[in-house]
Amino acid sequence: MPVTPDLFADEPMADSRPARVAIGEQACVLRGFALAAAPLLWSDIEAVARAAPFRHMLTPGGQRMSVATTSCGEWGWITDRRGYRYARGDPESGRPWPAMPSSWMRLAHDAAAAAGFDGFAPDACLINRYEPGTRMSLHQDRDERDFGAPIVSVSLGIAAVFLFGGQQRADKAARVPLQHGDVVVWGGVDRLRFHGVMPLREDVHPLLGAQRINLTFRRAA
C-alpha cells in the first residue's frame, strides 16, 4: 500500500462549524470551538499567572494537589485544610483575583448558548495546569451556590482523556478524548455527574509546550 502522509491530520475540519458531540442528555463537546481563540487565550493565561501564580493547593485532608491552579474573575476556587470553597481574593497575595477578560466571558457565554444554555454569565474561571503524569481523580463539582447554571470547560495544550462518570462514584465512567481547542458544556441533569482526568501522557504541544491547561467557567455565587 502506498504511504500517503496525512497533511491535514492536525488541522481543524474544513467545515465551518465545529462538530457538536453529545456525551450526556445535557452535556456536549464542541470540537475545536476555542481553536481560533487559543493563541489569545494562552497569552491572557500567562498574564493572569503573572498576577496570580499557579500553585499546588492542599486538599482538606492535607494532600498536595498534583494539578496546579489559579483563578480569574470575581470569585476563585480554593482549597486548604479548612475545606473547598470560592474566595473573592487570592489567599497567597491578599489581592482580588485578576479580572476575567471580556473575550473569555463571551467565549463561555457563546459556548453555553451553542449547547442550549442561554444567558450564561460566569463569575469565576478556575485555571488548571496539568504536566505529564498529572491526573484528577473522580469528583463532583458542588461548591457552587446554584447548580442551575452550566459549567463550560476549555482544553488547551496536550490532549487528555476525560472521565465522565454517573451520579454515583461507582458508576462506570466513559472516556472522552479532549484536544487543544475543544470546549465541553455540562448542565441540567448532567451537572452533578462524577468526572476526572486520566494521567496526562508525556507530550509537547507547539503552543503550550509540555502541559495541558483547562479553563472552567462557573457561576459560583
Interface residues with Fe ion (CB under 5 A) are: 141
Q: How many CA atoms lie within 13 A of 110 on its CB side?
A: 10
Write out the binding residues for ligand MD3, residues 109-148 only, by CB under 6 A: 126, 128, 136, 141
Bridge partner residues of 214 (DSSP): 128, 155
Beta carbons within 8 Å of 197's beta carbon, 6+ residues apart: 130, 135, 136, 160, 161, 162, 163, 214
Cβ-closest position to Fe ion: 141
Give me the phi and psi of 42, to 5 degrees please: -65, -45
Q: Pick between residue 128 and residue 211 the one whose CB is nearest to ligand MD3.
A: 128
Q: Pick between residue 40 and residue 138 the one whose CB is nearest to Fe ion.
A: 138
Could you tell me how many residues of this chain bind ligand MD3 (CB under 6 A)?
A: 15
* Least distance in angstroms from the C-beta of 16 to ligand MD3: 26
Among 33, 97, 120, 186, binds ligand MD3 (CB under 6 A): 186
Q: Pick between residue 23 and residue 51 the one whose CB is nearest to Fe ion.
A: 23
Q: Per the structure block, which three cell numbers stand in for 213?
A: 491547561
Whether residue 172 contacts residue 166, with contact meaning beta carbons closer than 8 Å, is answered with: yes
Choose the contact partner of 153 out of ligand MD3, Fe ion, none; CB within 5 to 8 A by kind: ligand MD3
Helix or strand or coil: residue 132? coil
Q: What is the Cα–Cα distance from 205 to 14, expressed in whole angstroms?
A: 22
Strand boundaries in 63-123, DSSP class E: 68-72, 76-80, 83-87
Q: Pick between residue 37 and residue 124 the one whose CB is nearest to ligand MD3.
A: 124
Other C-beta atoms lying within 10 Å of the C-beta of residue 217: 28
Q: Is 41 in the site for ligand MD3 (CB under 6 A)?
A: no
Other C-beta atoms lying within 10 Å of the C-beta of residue 50: 9
Q: Is 195 in the site for ligand MD3 (CB under 6 A)?
A: yes
Stretch that binds ligand MD3, among 2-10, 28-36, 104-112, 186-194 (CB under 6 A): 186-194
Q: Pick between residue 132 and residue 196 the one whose CB is nearest to Fe ion.
A: 196
Q: Is 70 in the site for ligand MD3 (CB under 6 A)?
A: no
Helix or strand or coil: residue 112? helix
Choose the contact partner of 186 out of ligand MD3, Fe ion, none; CB within 5 to 8 A by kind: ligand MD3
- Which residues of this chain interact with ligand MD3, rule CB under 6 A? 126, 128, 136, 141, 151, 153, 162, 186, 190-191, 193, 195, 197, 214, 216
